[in-house]
Amino acid sequence: MSKRNYLPKKVMKKRIGSNFYRKRVWTLLEPANENDKASKITDIFLVTLIFFNILMVILETVDSLFINYKDFFKYFELFSVTIFTIEYIGRLWSCVENKGKNQSDGKARIQYIFSFSAIIDAIAILPSLLAFLFPTVDLRFVRALRIIRLLKFSRYSSSINTLLVVLWDQRKSFGAAFFILFIILIISSSGMYLVEKDVQPDKFGSIPQSMWWSIVTLTTVGYGDVYPVTSMGKFFGSIIIILGIGTVALPSGILASAFTEHTKRNQKKYEDQLKLMLSDNIIDEGERKELEELSQRLNLSDEDILAIEEHYKNKK
């Protein structure tokens, strides 16, 4: 065999090996499949590490614990940052396994870097890396940022992912609702400033000062630390209280409606797949397993699945 013919085969083997390891890293770091024990162990390890990181952030705020166990906290943080950094690099290297059909590796990696989960992963490690590299950085600020690691749970929770999808889908509706809330906030704080500023200049001496009362009132919290004392102020405040009930309920209604619509779409996807598999009037073991995996991805409960299958049987 000539050298010219041998080299391409050698390069090809290296590429196949590289692709195999890259794909394996991706499957290990992504939420585990049912039969992948190594991936399950990796998921459990990372979730446990995230949990203990949040616990350490909380315990570090207790001065007596932080002083007595300072070295333990330091080495645990160093260990955590090392693991999370390796995880981030591994995901960045292997994310091309999930790229689009005509997408280059470079574009896939850039797209991944700016994805929500990758940004959370980066924020989870960058503050601590900066603290290790620049010891003069305010450690209290670094500790506060580490609580963002809590959001890493979203990668392993279908419920949190569903919430994020719903919020993103309804971003325009939420934007409109909060814009209305902002307008009412300006009107209420300006009005209360006009009717109360002379009587209570320490509490309603400016529109920004009055905004505290408006926020507390519109959200129906009512701390009672600031309140109108004039007849006009009480009348105006009563109107704002009534407006606040409807205004605050608006985002809640949008969220509830969006969740219902999202669940209906997922149920429809499951029903369509069920209809396709029942085209031969038989669901074999492989198809049943595929349906179970689909139901997990769509975050459907056993009751939802049973209701869909009963409904489809009745339709037939």
Query: Domain range holding 8?
Result: 3-155
Q: Residue 12: what pLDDT?
A: 47
Shared domain check, 184 and 306: yes
Q: Do residues 197 and 300 share a domain?
A: yes
Secondary structure element (H or E) that encloses residue 1, with its range = none
Q: How far apart are CA 49 and CA 52, in angstroms?
A: 5
CATH number of the domain encompassing residue 225? 1.10.287.70
Same domain, 129 and 197: no
**Residue 11: its pLDDT value, please?**
47
CA–CA separation, 159 and 296 (whole Å)? 10
pLDDT of residue 31: 74
Asked, for residue 165, whether it belongs to a domain, the answer is no
What's the CATH code of the domain at 49? Answer: 1.20.120.350
| 193, 309: one domain | yes
If asked whether residues 201 and 303 sit together in one domain, one would say: yes
Is the domain of 93 the same as that of 177?
Answer: no
Q: Is-contact 178 254, C-beta < 8 A?
A: no
Per-residue DSSP letter, 222: -
Token pair for 193: 């400033």
The pLDDT score that the predictor gives to residue 283 is 76
Q: What is the pLDDT of residue 18?
A: 64
Residues 187 and 94 in one domain: no
Distances in Å between the Cα of 130 and the Cα atoms of 124, 134, 136, 137, 292 are 11, 6, 10, 8, 44
**Angle at CA of residue 23, ends 21 and 29, nearest 5°:** 100
On the 0-12 / 13-18 / 19+ scale of CB atoms within 10 A, 105 is exposed
Q: Are residues 41 and 109 in the same domain?
A: yes
Domain annotation covers residue 43: yes
d(CA 167, CA 281): 39
Question: From start to end of 166-243, where are the E strands?
Answer: none
Tens-place pLDDT, residues 240-251 = 988 888 887 888
Looking at residue 205, the DSSP 8-state letter turns out to be S
In a domain, 289, yes or no: yes
- For every one of its 316 residues, what pLDDT tens digit does the chain have, with 9 covering 90 and above? 444 444 455 444 555 556 888 888 888 888 766 677 888 888 889 889 989 988 988 888 888 998 899 899 889 988 998 999 999 999 999 888 877 777 788 888 898 898 888 888 888 888 777 777 776 666 666 666 777 787 787 777 777 778 878 888 888 988 998 898 899 999 999 999 999 999 999 999 999 999 999 999 888 888 888 989 999 999 999 999 888 888 878 888 888 888 888 888 888 888 888 888 777 777 777 777 778 777 877 777 777 788 777 776 666 5
